[in-house]
Amino acid sequence: MNNKYNVVLLFGPPGSGKGTWGKILGMMPGFFHVSTGDMFRMLNVESKLGLRVMEIIRKGELVPDDITFNMWQEHVKNAVFVGSFRPQKDVLVLDGLPRTKPQAEMLQSVAAVRAILKLDCEDHEILIERLHRRAVLEGRGDDANEAIIRHRFEIYNRQIQQTLAFYPRDMMAYIDVTIPPVRILAAIGNVLSKSLTSMS
Ligand code: ADP
């Protein structure tokens, strides 16, 4: 593909704020945010696919790579079709994709990765606390059960190394998500203003 999407990747364990920061970035002119988690949660659970995906999410497992990537591609194509994402002008902010090495490989065929933000902190127990809060505030079933939350962290820890290993180290910016939000915003702005100004 000649014209690859210009992409910023948001990595981070559950509760690290990928969704929050993705949404904030997506509100800026010239950015378009896609969350694979939101995309799955919007599926109609009455459909066969919707039901299958819901069951996977409820268990804290990962949706198979081919389903994830194909759905994501359709989702982005629809956004182009309706004009909410203009690939020639806009930067695509991806939150939740890729989560595995095969997904990173598939993404490579359609995307030029311009920056990678790794949202994380040393003590994951802080994030687990945040997830308990989110379960109450947003009614997310996969955040309500301690065993499922811990299973999602296990999967994250298992997949993240080989997924990140796919990208050059100097492209990654680590952002500590326990610092005040305004400083996180500043850190993200700093990274993106540097990495996106050189965009051809
Ligand atoms: P979190 O980062 O807290 O796990 P998300 O909203 O990003 O929350 O994802 C919710 C769930 O959706 C995941 O636990 C997983 O089941 C599924 N999911 C999201 N993105 C992917 C992906 N790229 N590949 C496979 N499954 C995914």
pLDDT 10s digits, 43-54 = 998 999 999 999
Cβ–Cβ < 8 Å for 167, 116: yes
Residue type at 156 in one-letter notation: Y
- The residue whose C-alpha atom lies closest to atom 15 belonging to ligand 1 is 62
The number of domains in the chain is 1
For the segment 99-117, what is each residue's pLDDT rounded down to a tens digit? 999 999 999 999 999 999 9
- The pair of structure tokens assigned to 68 is 């994830």
Query: Dihedrals φ, ψ of 28, to 5°?
Result: -80, 140
Tens digits of residue pLDDT in 168-198: 999 999 999 999 999 999 999 999 999 998 6
Position 198 scores a pLDDT of 65
What CATH number is attached to the domain comprising 136? 3.40.50.300
Q: Which atom of ligand 1 is nearest to the CA of 143?
A: 3
What is the CA(198)–ligand 1 centre distance, in A?
31
What is the atom index within ligand 1 of the atom nearest the CA of 57? 16
Domain that residue 86 falls in: 5-196
142 C-alpha to ligand 1 centroid (Å): 10
- At 92, the amino acid letter reads L
25 Cα distance to chain centroid:
12
Of all protein residues, the one whose alpha carbon is nearest to atom 19 of ligand 1 is 37
User: Which residues surround ligand 1 with Cβ inside 6 Å?
Assistant: 14, 18, 36-37, 40, 56-57, 60-63, 68, 96-97, 99, 103, 142, 152
Task: Give the pLDDT band (50/70/90) at residue 138.
Answer: confident
Q: How far is the CA of 26 from the centre of ligand 1 (A)?
A: 18
Q: Answer whether residue 144 shows pLDDT above 90.
A: no
DSSP 12: -
What is the C-alpha separation between 196 and 84, in angstroms, rounded?
20
**Residue-wise burial string across 152-180, b where 16 or more C-beta atoms lie within 10 A, e elsewhere:** bbebbeebbeebbebbeeeeebebebeee
- In the 3-class helix/strand/coil scheme, how is 95-124 assigned residue by residue? ECCCCCHHHHHHHHCCEEEEEEEEEECCCH
Residues 45, 105: contact at Cβ < 8 Å? no
For residues 148 and 55, the answer to whether their CB atoms sit within 8 Å is no
